[in-house]
Structure formats: C-alpha cells, structure tokens
Structure 1
Amino acid sequence: MTESVLHQDVRTPEDSHPRDKIRRLVFRLGVATLVLMAIGSATRVMNAGLACPDWPLCYGQLVPSSQMNLQVFLEWFHRLDAAAIGFGAIALAVLSWWHRLSLPKWLPWASTFALFLVVFQGVLGGLTVTHLLRFDIVTAHLGTALLFFMTLLIIGAALLPYQGTGTVGKLPWVSLTAAILVYLQSLLGGLVGSRWALHQCFGAQELCTVMNSHIAGVVPPTLAIVAVVLLAWRTPALHPMLRRLANLGGGLLVLQVILGVATFRLHLQVEPLTVAHQAVGAALLGTLVAFTVLALRDRASVIPNPSV
C-alpha cells in the first residue's frame, strides 16, 4: 500500500505543511512494514527464525559477516528493517508532538500509540528468539505487526486531502466488518504457520482442526469483501478513490484465494507462494482499512447545495 494508490494528483497549498510531511512519512513506514512482514514470513518458511541464536545482535555482531548465509541474512535483514521502522516511528511521534499546534489533536496520540506498538513488537521479537519460536508468541508478533500496519494506514488515510460525495451509505460499516474479519483470519493463518499445522495434518493427522478452521474461515471475509465491491459498483457518484480501492480489494481477494489454493495443493513446498500469500493478505487488509477510513470521512461530508 503506497500513497500513490490513495493520493490524487492534486497539489494544494498545504503541501509544505507539517501534515504533508507526516503523511509521507506514515506511508513510507507502511511500505516498510509490509516488506518487514513479507521478510518475516520468508524467515519462518525458510526455518530461519533461530538463524541468529542471540538477540538483539546476531552472533554478537551488528553484521555477522563470517556466519552469513541465506538463513542468517533473512533473520538479520528482518531485524535491520524492524530497527529502521522503529527509528521512523520515533521520528513520527516527535514530529507529531513538535508540530501539535498545527495538526489534528488526535495525531500526536495516534503516533504515540504507533510507537508503543513498535516497542511492544520489538519485545515480542526478542521473545520469539529467547523462547525458541513458541507459537503463541510468534502469532502475537504477527498480530502486533498487522495492528501497527493498520494504525499507520488509518493515520495516513485520515491525513489525505479528501472531499467526499456523501453517497457511501452503509459502505463504511460493511468495509469495517470485512477488515475485522480479514484481521482475524490473518491471525488464524499466523497460528497455522507458527504451529506448522498444514505439515502436521498432512504428515501425522495432527492439528487438522487448526488447519481446517483457517480454510473454513476464508468464507466470512470473502463474502464481506465481495459485498464491499458490489456495493461500491452499485453506489452512484461514489468518490473515484473509493471506487479504485474497492476494485483493488476485489483484485487482491481473487489473487489471495488463488495463492491460498496453490499453497495448500503444493503442501507449502514452494516458499515464495507462502510468502506471497501472507503479503497479499496484509495488502488486502491495508486496502480495506484505507477504504473504511475514507468512507467514514465521506459519510461525514456535507454536499454543498448549488442553489444556495
């Protein structure tokens, strides 16, 4: 999810405003977080979660050059990206509080919450290593990353220059429901991955309930997303940005279903498919979150009366 997907090519006098700088920072952090989650998924499927046996350093070094291989690189780069996001979150909080008088009152607090999530995520990252990839900690690690990602997109979408048409109707609540269902399904998918439920079920007929729950759990969010897309198509005078996001969500849903089926059929033997499955799921969640925020702003819009 990038700012270019959400932002119309319209320059305003506010482009030099601190709000604009913060918005750009937020979307860059969002892209970095999406990359971080993809790398984290690659780290898991490549069995590289414990490639660096210590934390926060790797073999006691900032750059473990002598021990470097693909697995070590994945875990090391995962930590490097996380550290960069951490510094970015600090910058976001500092800028928001420094310019608080010229920014929405909620922004400094939202930025502080994002920073808290990053710190908590760092703690969970350390615990995943020291507790040898315990499944509940690994799942919480993913859940917190997704929550941080959503927080960034909420902030970014709320700061976009946007004037709605006031025609969204029930779309905000349908998209909010879809976003919640996708988040819960992502957590369930993280649990399947952290417990290696698919391998366990195919190999020893164990944890099949966990795997089947994730498969059955596809239905509610799929129906909710289809409802968002259909309602967007049927809503007259819907803002073009919302229409683009709805179409993007529909496309990501189709791609996600294809990736999920392929991953299942191939028994997780093709690692890039598994990584893409999680990355597309996160992008789908981000699309729904951005759609929901803009739709709520649209709902609050007042359509000027041209006769006045």
Structure 2
Amino acid sequence: MTDTTFHPSAAESSRPQEWISRLVFGMAAATLFLMALGSATRVMNAGLACPDWPLCYGELIPRQQMNLQVFLEWFHRLIASSMGLFAIALVSLSWWYRRVVPGWLPGASAFALGLVIFQGVLGGLTVTEMLRFDIVTAHLATGLLFFVTLLTIGMALLPYQGTGSVGRLSWVGLVAAFLVYLQSILGALVSSQWALHQCLSTSNLCLVMNSHIAGVVPATLATLLLVVMAWRTPALHPILRRLANAAGGLVLLQILLGVATFKLRLQVEPLTVAHQAIGATLLGTLVAFTVLALREQKAERG
C-alpha cells in the first residue's frame, strides 16, 4: 500500500524556521531599543508627558502638545504597540508551521505574547498610578524577561554544532545571567525611586542604592569566571568564545558607566541611558551563550 503521508523535505522544514528566527531576532533588537527609549523617557522626566492612556491627550498623535518629552513618551508607546503586533505574528507563524518547527516553539511564542500583554497592562498602570516605583520596576523586569525569552527562542532555532568541550560553562553562564538580571532589577528600583539623589541629599533610600552597588560584585565575578573558563577551554566553539569575550568587555564597560553616572549624580542623561542599555546587552549576551552551551551539553549527553 502506498504511503500518501506528506513528509516535508529538509529545505521545506528549515525555511519557516529561518523566517521565524529572523523575526525573533528583529523583535529582540527592537525590544533592546525600546528599553533604551524607556530609559531616556524616564531620565528626561517624560514618563507622564502623556497624561492619559492609551491615547495621548485624547489623540493618537498629539500634534498641538508635541514637544521633546511628549514625543519620547508617545514614541515609546508606539514602538511598544508594534511589539504586540509582532508577537501576534510570531504566535501565528509558530502555530501555522507547527508540523515543521520544534514542538516547543508554539508554547514559547504564546508565552512571549503573554509577556507583551502583561507588559502593556503595566505600561498603562505606570501612567494611571503616577509612576509608582513598584510598577515601574515590574515594567522593566517584564521587558527584560521578554527580551530574554526572544533571545532564548532565537538561539535555540539557530543551526549549531558544538565541539563537545563546553563542560560546566553552561551552568556558569546561567548563574551569571541570573545575577545580571537581578542586578538589573535592583538598578530599576534605584532609578524608579531616584534613590541616588535621595541618598546623597537626604540620606534616604541608601539601602536601596547600596544594594545595587553591592550587587555589582557577584554579577561581575560570575561573568569574569565565565570569561576565564572560556579562555582555559582551547577547543571551545568560536561562537561561544566570542560571546564570552563580549560579555567580559561589556561587564567592564558597564562598571565604568556605573561609576560615571554615580560620580556625575545622573546629571548626564546619555550616560544613564547607556548604562541601562549596556546592562541589557550584557544580559542578552550571557543568555545567548547559555542557550548554545546548554544545547551543546544536551547533545553530549545525547
């Protein structure tokens, strides 16, 4: 009896996966830009430049009220809304091609869409609750989690063949990424409460600020340990080696930016925005390393 079941060729199976991979990495890049834009909105005191939500002064485009602060807040909302549309497209593609993509992809895409929806709710609450610090912090934490989710999906879809030498590097990378994520949340608490200004002027919220400063130590040590271990692994895959070296450079740059922002008391807005953006980039680099290392470790166990 002739088998009439449709079996897609390797090329037909890889093409949708390649499309989805490009979409995911594009979304990750846009999310990184969106977080930097959100940081710029905060340091420019533009978080409430649009007093209502989801419209701005009751309009889609507030032409009469438009200035730099209104533009930052309005543009931030515009990019955030587009991410919701991209997330819907990601879920749709994942389910449409579910027979030729990894089985975990539809569920991971749905999780990413859920994060976008939750992020939108938090975005609205930041306005209606007048920039309440816990909501602002949760807003950034969810944005970072969405960014990490996209990178995890993208790196898991990339064609990759390890060298079988990753050892414990995957777990070191995972710990480093987790510590950097926690440090980012502490940084969000500092910025959302203006803890640096409060501590230096009135000695209030110094515990929050000092917790963020102390958090630099474990996150930096874990990242540098990853770099040293990568150097001591001669057969390490070139991609993993480049990612580890990039993480080492980024953590040193992040420390320099942190010291500069502290010494200048957040008076130079581009430095503050760069500090947040480099922190997110460091987190993304560690996540990319960890996903590939875990894939290689799984292949070793086989």
Match of 2:174 among 170, 173, 176: 176
- Secondary structure (helix, strand or coil) at the match of 2:86 reads helix
Distance of 2:235 and 2:165 partners within structure 1: 7
- Secondary structure (helix, strand or coil) at the match of 1:19 reads helix
Match of 1:92 among 87, 90, 93: 90
Q: Deviations over 1:228-273 (max 9, x none)?
A: 0000111121000000100110111111011000000000000000
Partner of 2:202: 204
Distance of 1:250 and 1:86 partners within structure 2: 33
- The 3 A distance-change label for structure 1 pair 261 and 21 is same
Q: Deviations over 1:100-156 (max 9, x none)?
A: 011101000000000000000000000000000000000000000000000000000
What residue identity is the alignment partner of 1:91? A
Structure 2 matches for 1:121-132, cutoff 5 A?
Answer: 121-132=119-130
Distance of 2:286 and 2:157 partners within structure 1: 17
Which sections of structure 1, spanning at least 5 residues, go unmatched? 1-11
Partner of 1:147: 145
Check if 1:219 corresponds to 2:217: yes
Distance of 2:245 and 2:57 partners within structure 1: 46
What residue identity is the alignment partner of 2:53? W
What residue identity is the alignment partner of 1:59? Y
Partner of 2:190: 192
Distance of 1:55 and 1:86 partners within structure 2: 16
Match of 2:55 among 52, 57, 60: 57
What residue identity is the alignment partner of 2:176? A
TM, length-normalised to structure 1: 0.93
Structure 2 matches for 1:234-245, cutoff 5 A?
Answer: 234-245=232-243
Contact 2:13 2:100 in 1 (8 A): no
What residue identity is the alignment partner of 1:144? T
State the identity as a percent.
Answer: 72
Contact 1:165 1:301 in 2 (8 A): no
Q: Deviations over 1:74-120 (max 9, x none)?
A: 00010011011110000000100111011101000000000000000
Q: CA deviation at 1:301?
A: 2.6
Match of 2:160 among 157, 162, 165: 162
Q: Deviations over 1:31-64 (max 9, x none)?
A: 0000000000001111000000000110011111
TM, length-normalised to structure 2: 0.95
Partner of 2:278: 280
Which sections of structure 2, spanning at least 5 residues, go unmatched? 1-9
- Secondary structure (helix, strand or coil) at the match of 2:299 reads coil
What residue identity is the alignment partner of 1:75? E
Q: CA deviation at 1:280?
A: 0.2
Contact 2:13 2:101 in 1 (8 A): no
What residue identity is the alignment partner of 1:31? A
Q: CA deviation at 1:300?
A: 2.1
What residue identity is the alignment partner of 1:86? G
What residue identity is the alignment partner of 1:50? L
What residue identity is the alignment partner of 1:194? S
Distance of 2:105 and 2:251 partners within structure 1: 31
Distance of 1:172 and 1:247 partners within structure 2: 15
RMSD: 1.4
What residue identity is the alignment partner of 1:197? A
Q: CA deviation at 1:15?
A: 9.1
Distance of 1:230 and 1:137 partners within structure 2: 38
Q: Deviations over 1:203-225 (max 9, x none)?
A: 11111110011001100000000
What residue identity is the alignment partner of 1:97? W
Partner of 1:5: none
